[in-house]
Amino acid sequence: MTTVTPAPQSPPLHKGGERKGEQHLVPLLLLFLFFLPSAAWAHVQQGQAAGFLNGLRHPVSGLDHVLAMVAVGLWGAQLGAPAIWLLPVTFPLVMAFGGFLGLVGVPLPGVEVGVAASAILLGALVAAEARPPLWLGAAVVGFFAVFHGHAHGTELPAGQSGMLYSVGFVTATGCLHATGIAIGLIHRWAWGRTALRVAGAVVALAGVSFLWRALS
Protein backbone atom coordinates (compact mmCIF):
# COMPACT_ATOMS: atom_id res chain seq x y z
CA MET A 1 0.00 0.00 0.00
CA THR A 2 1.41 3.33 -1.05
CA THR A 3 1.73 5.96 1.66
CA VAL A 4 0.98 9.54 0.60
CA THR A 5 3.24 12.03 2.32
CA PRO A 6 1.53 15.38 2.83
CA ALA A 7 3.26 18.27 1.14
CA PRO A 8 5.07 20.62 3.49
CA GLN A 9 3.12 23.77 4.25
CA SER A 10 4.60 27.02 3.04
CA PRO A 11 5.49 29.54 5.73
CA PRO A 12 3.20 32.57 5.96
CA LEU A 13 4.11 35.39 3.60
CA HIS A 14 4.96 37.99 6.18
CA LYS A 15 6.77 40.18 3.68
CA GLY A 16 3.75 40.42 1.40
CA GLY A 17 1.57 41.32 4.32
CA GLU A 18 4.07 43.92 5.44
CA ARG A 19 4.15 45.45 1.98
CA LYS A 20 0.36 45.57 1.94
CA GLY A 21 0.36 47.32 5.27
CA GLU A 22 2.93 49.80 4.04
CA GLN A 23 0.76 50.57 1.03
CA HIS A 24 -2.10 51.47 3.36
CA LEU A 25 0.17 53.93 5.14
CA VAL A 26 0.82 55.93 1.97
CA PRO A 27 -2.69 57.46 1.59
CA LEU A 28 -2.81 58.08 5.33
CA LEU A 29 0.47 59.97 5.14
CA LEU A 30 -0.77 62.01 2.18
CA LEU A 31 -3.95 62.92 4.07
CA PHE A 32 -1.85 63.97 7.06
CA LEU A 33 0.33 66.20 4.88
CA PHE A 34 -2.69 67.67 3.14
CA PHE A 35 -4.43 68.68 6.35
CA LEU A 36 -1.25 69.70 8.17
CA PRO A 37 -1.83 73.17 9.64
CA SER A 38 0.20 75.84 7.90
CA ALA A 39 0.35 79.59 7.59
CA ALA A 40 -0.14 79.09 3.86
CA TRP A 41 -3.83 78.36 4.47
CA ALA A 42 -4.55 82.08 4.75
CA HIS A 43 -4.50 83.39 1.19
CA VAL A 44 -4.28 86.96 2.35
CA GLN A 45 -0.81 86.40 3.79
CA GLN A 46 1.63 87.21 1.03
CA GLY A 47 4.68 85.06 0.33
CA GLN A 48 3.69 82.06 2.42
CA ALA A 49 2.94 79.37 -0.17
CA ALA A 50 5.53 77.29 -2.03
CA GLY A 51 5.57 73.88 -3.62
CA PHE A 52 2.97 71.45 -4.88
CA LEU A 53 1.29 70.69 -1.54
CA ASN A 54 0.83 74.35 -0.68
CA GLY A 55 -0.48 74.98 -4.17
CA LEU A 56 -2.86 72.06 -3.71
CA ARG A 57 -4.16 73.45 -0.44
CA HIS A 58 -4.29 77.08 -1.46
CA PRO A 59 -7.63 77.12 -3.33
CA VAL A 60 -9.35 75.81 -0.20
CA SER A 61 -7.68 78.37 2.03
CA GLY A 62 -10.38 80.96 1.44
CA LEU A 63 -14.13 80.41 1.40
CA ASP A 64 -14.48 82.96 -1.39
CA HIS A 65 -12.32 80.81 -3.67
CA VAL A 66 -14.09 77.59 -2.70
CA LEU A 67 -17.63 78.87 -3.24
CA ALA A 68 -16.85 80.46 -6.61
CA MET A 69 -15.12 77.34 -7.94
CA VAL A 70 -17.85 75.00 -6.73
CA ALA A 71 -20.43 77.36 -8.25
CA VAL A 72 -18.78 76.92 -11.65
CA GLY A 73 -19.39 73.17 -11.38
CA LEU A 74 -22.97 73.70 -10.20
CA TRP A 75 -23.74 76.01 -13.10
CA GLY A 76 -22.17 73.64 -15.60
CA ALA A 77 -24.31 70.79 -14.25
CA GLN A 78 -27.42 72.96 -14.60
CA LEU A 79 -26.58 73.83 -18.20
CA GLY A 80 -25.68 70.29 -19.21
CA ALA A 81 -23.44 69.30 -22.12
CA PRO A 82 -21.27 70.83 -23.46
CA ALA A 83 -21.15 73.48 -20.71
CA ILE A 84 -20.76 70.82 -18.00
CA TRP A 85 -17.21 70.20 -19.20
CA LEU A 86 -16.41 73.43 -21.06
CA LEU A 87 -16.84 75.74 -18.05
CA PRO A 88 -14.73 73.63 -15.63
CA VAL A 89 -12.02 73.39 -18.30
CA THR A 90 -12.07 77.10 -19.15
CA PHE A 91 -11.70 78.22 -15.55
CA PRO A 92 -8.42 76.39 -14.70
CA LEU A 93 -6.84 77.24 -18.06
CA VAL A 94 -7.52 80.96 -17.75
CA MET A 95 -6.72 80.85 -14.02
CA ALA A 96 -3.29 79.47 -14.87
CA PHE A 97 -2.74 82.55 -17.05
CA GLY A 98 -3.81 84.81 -14.18
CA GLY A 99 -1.50 82.88 -11.89
CA PHE A 100 1.38 83.50 -14.29
CA LEU A 101 0.69 87.22 -14.20
CA GLY A 102 0.83 87.11 -10.42
CA LEU A 103 4.03 85.04 -10.40
CA VAL A 104 5.89 87.49 -12.64
CA GLY A 105 4.61 90.49 -10.70
CA VAL A 106 2.19 92.00 -13.23
CA PRO A 107 -0.24 94.12 -11.18
CA LEU A 108 -3.98 93.53 -11.39
CA PRO A 109 -6.14 96.11 -9.60
CA GLY A 110 -9.03 94.98 -7.45
CA VAL A 111 -8.14 91.30 -7.15
CA GLU A 112 -10.04 90.74 -3.90
CA VAL A 113 -13.02 92.68 -5.26
CA GLY A 114 -12.96 90.54 -8.41
CA VAL A 115 -12.87 87.33 -6.38
CA ALA A 116 -15.80 88.48 -4.25
CA ALA A 117 -17.74 89.64 -7.30
CA SER A 118 -17.25 86.22 -8.89
CA ALA A 119 -19.05 84.57 -5.98
CA ILE A 120 -21.90 87.08 -6.27
CA LEU A 121 -22.40 86.71 -10.02
CA LEU A 122 -21.80 82.96 -10.29
CA GLY A 123 -24.10 82.34 -7.33
CA ALA A 124 -26.76 84.56 -8.89
CA LEU A 125 -26.47 82.70 -12.21
CA VAL A 126 -27.00 79.39 -10.42
CA ALA A 127 -29.91 80.83 -8.41
CA ALA A 128 -31.56 82.13 -11.57
CA GLU A 129 -30.68 78.96 -13.50
CA ALA A 130 -29.49 81.34 -16.22
CA ARG A 131 -28.88 79.93 -19.70
CA PRO A 132 -26.85 82.45 -21.70
CA PRO A 133 -25.11 81.52 -24.97
CA LEU A 134 -22.27 79.09 -24.37
CA TRP A 135 -19.59 81.55 -25.45
CA LEU A 136 -20.90 84.16 -23.02
CA GLY A 137 -20.95 81.71 -20.13
CA ALA A 138 -17.36 80.69 -20.88
CA ALA A 139 -16.34 84.36 -21.13
CA VAL A 140 -17.86 85.15 -17.71
CA VAL A 141 -16.10 82.19 -16.11
CA GLY A 142 -12.80 83.05 -17.81
CA PHE A 143 -12.99 86.70 -16.77
CA PHE A 144 -13.27 85.87 -13.08
CA ALA A 145 -10.71 83.08 -13.36
CA VAL A 146 -8.04 85.72 -14.02
CA PHE A 147 -8.64 87.27 -10.60
CA HIS A 148 -8.57 83.93 -8.82
CA GLY A 149 -5.38 82.94 -10.60
CA HIS A 150 -3.67 86.23 -9.83
CA ALA A 151 -4.60 85.91 -6.15
CA HIS A 152 -2.95 82.48 -6.08
CA GLY A 153 0.07 83.49 -8.14
CA THR A 154 1.10 86.38 -5.90
CA GLU A 155 1.57 83.95 -2.98
CA LEU A 156 4.77 82.41 -4.34
CA PRO A 157 7.99 83.68 -2.72
CA ALA A 158 10.96 84.48 -4.92
CA GLY A 159 13.25 81.52 -5.61
CA GLN A 160 10.60 78.83 -5.16
CA SER A 161 9.15 76.47 -7.78
CA GLY A 162 6.32 78.30 -9.50
CA MET A 163 5.66 75.28 -11.71
CA LEU A 164 4.92 72.86 -8.85
CA TYR A 165 2.84 75.43 -7.01
CA SER A 166 0.82 76.22 -10.15
CA VAL A 167 0.19 72.55 -10.89
CA GLY A 168 -1.01 72.16 -7.30
CA PHE A 169 -3.57 74.95 -7.30
CA VAL A 170 -4.85 74.09 -10.80
CA THR A 171 -5.32 70.47 -9.69
CA ALA A 172 -7.20 71.52 -6.55
CA THR A 173 -9.37 73.85 -8.63
CA GLY A 174 -10.32 70.98 -10.92
CA CYS A 175 -11.31 68.92 -7.87
CA LEU A 176 -13.53 71.74 -6.59
CA HIS A 177 -15.21 72.00 -10.00
CA ALA A 178 -15.76 68.23 -9.98
CA THR A 179 -17.33 68.53 -6.53
CA GLY A 180 -19.73 71.16 -7.85
CA ILE A 181 -20.62 68.98 -10.84
CA ALA A 182 -21.23 65.96 -8.60
CA ILE A 183 -23.54 68.00 -6.39
CA GLY A 184 -25.20 69.53 -9.43
CA LEU A 185 -26.28 66.13 -10.72
CA ILE A 186 -29.29 66.41 -8.41
CA HIS A 187 -30.59 68.81 -11.05
CA ARG A 188 -32.34 65.86 -12.71
CA TRP A 189 -35.02 65.92 -9.99
CA ALA A 190 -37.44 68.75 -9.28
CA TRP A 191 -36.38 69.02 -5.64
CA GLY A 192 -32.77 69.03 -6.77
CA ARG A 193 -33.32 71.98 -9.09
CA THR A 194 -34.86 73.90 -6.21
CA ALA A 195 -31.98 72.96 -3.91
CA LEU A 196 -29.40 74.16 -6.44
CA ARG A 197 -31.14 77.49 -6.85
CA VAL A 198 -31.16 77.93 -3.08
CA ALA A 199 -27.46 77.00 -2.97
CA GLY A 200 -26.75 79.62 -5.63
CA ALA A 201 -28.54 82.26 -3.59
CA VAL A 202 -26.45 81.33 -0.54
CA VAL A 203 -23.24 81.66 -2.58
CA ALA A 204 -24.32 85.07 -3.87
CA LEU A 205 -25.13 86.30 -0.35
CA ALA A 206 -21.77 85.05 0.87
CA GLY A 207 -20.19 86.96 -2.02
CA VAL A 208 -21.83 90.16 -0.80
CA SER A 209 -20.15 89.59 2.56
CA PHE A 210 -16.79 89.00 0.85
CA LEU A 211 -17.23 92.19 -1.18
CA TRP A 212 -18.05 94.20 1.95
CA ARG A 213 -14.84 93.02 3.58
CA ALA A 214 -12.81 93.68 0.42
CA LEU A 215 -14.07 97.26 0.23
CA SER A 216 -13.79 98.06 3.94
CA atoms within 13 A on the CB side of 187: 22
Angle value at C-alpha 175, between 67 and 46, nearest 5 degrees: 60
Give the pLDDT of the chain (216 residues) as one tens digit per residue. 445 455 444 444 444 443 433 344 333 333 333 443 333 333 433 444 457 777 787 778 789 999 999 999 999 999 999 999 999 999 999 998 998 898 888 999 999 999 999 999 999 999 999 999 999 999 999 999 999 999 888 876 555 566 787 888 888 899 999 999 999 999 999 999 999 999 999 999 999 999 999 998
Q: What is the pTM (predicted TM-score) of this model?
A: 0.73
**What is the per-residue pLDDT for 13?**
40
Let me know: does 152 contact 95? Beta carbons within 8 Å: yes
**What is the per-residue pLDDT for 57?**
78
